[in-house]
Structure 1
Amino acid sequence: MIENEQYLTSLLNNDSKGIMKIYTAVFPRVRKFLLQNKGTQQDAEDIFQKALIQITVRYRKERFEINTSFEAYLFTACKNLWRRELNTSKNRVTNSDIIELVPAERDTALTILEQKRWELFSEKLDLISGNCKKILTMFFNNSSYADMVKKMGYSSETVARQRVFKCKTKLSKKIKDDQRYNSLKKL
């Protein structure tokens, strides 16, 4: 299907016009699905972005053919990601009424471990570009994508999401490449 190839090429080339066509064609259905299934607008945006990135990465790695419409393929990818997210969150149990008694030594050890993690994170954050550092700081402070567009001068929220993803990936790689990472990650 020629249209499928055009969409995939738009993703590969980071063509904003093509990507906006994808958003216009598919995002409203994804948003509606998530809102009807315990999701929020932010969840819909995040899931949609993750699906686009997964498709792009997979297509870069191995050229594959989509036998249905691209819109149906992307919508299905979003649905699967959301279901996986719901299953993961369902398995998390929270009970604020339970107070765990922690021995002083264990509490101290956890505090030190957390501090070392924070130091590694901060150190690696300082090593990425100023632009990435600024966008990630905004992201970690829960700034909206609309605010990022205004403050950073991006053309759209899609571009802001892509920058956040790329910067998070760079930061994550720097952290994971550090020798200290394996001893500090959660067991």
Structure 2
Amino acid sequence: MKKVVVNFSDEELIEALKQQQVSNMAIAFLYRNYYGVLSNYIKLNKGSQQDAEDIFQEVVVNFIEIIKAGKFRSESSIKTFLFTLNRFTWLNELKKRSRTLAREEKYEDDSEVDDRDLSHFLVERESKNMVVAMMDKLGETCRKILLAYYYDNFSMKEILPLVNYENEQVLRNKKYKCLKNLEQILAADPGLSKRFKSALAYGH
């Protein structure tokens, strides 16, 4: 039996991905049209074939979640959005590996690891959870900007494609407003403010 190939416009694909049960034809379309270019980006940037497959699967899952949540803004094409999401996901993965490698090298150098190392790790993890929870109160855009800037150490240029602002100055203005909103939340609770500043110090 001949395999049926279905093509979608951006609008049709978005509608197909919004459905409670996403059709196999929509998934197949994503793989057929975008896997090649996205996997090539991974392989050209220190990734293996397996990395390319894993990242693409993650990108597809995240993209579908974004569509279902109604958070995809159609100012950019699906291809542009997927490329940005693919790049962001891979950069995050590289940074995680870099941090892991650095921790492993440090562990090998330090033959004596005391309880303070473990307690610091636990405090750091809890601190990041607290920071992320606070960022969530500011809304999706502010959370994305501030976490990318403070935790992922992204530059304004790297953050720009993630939020689809016109230029870096507009992004800086938004970041400033996000921080002012955060200050207002913290000002209402001095105890929370002190814990948050300690948490940010650990995470930064």
TM-score interval for Structure 1 and Structure 2 normalised by the shorter chain: 0.3 to 0.5
TM-score normalized by the length of structure 2: 0.44
TM-score normalized by the length of structure 1: 0.48
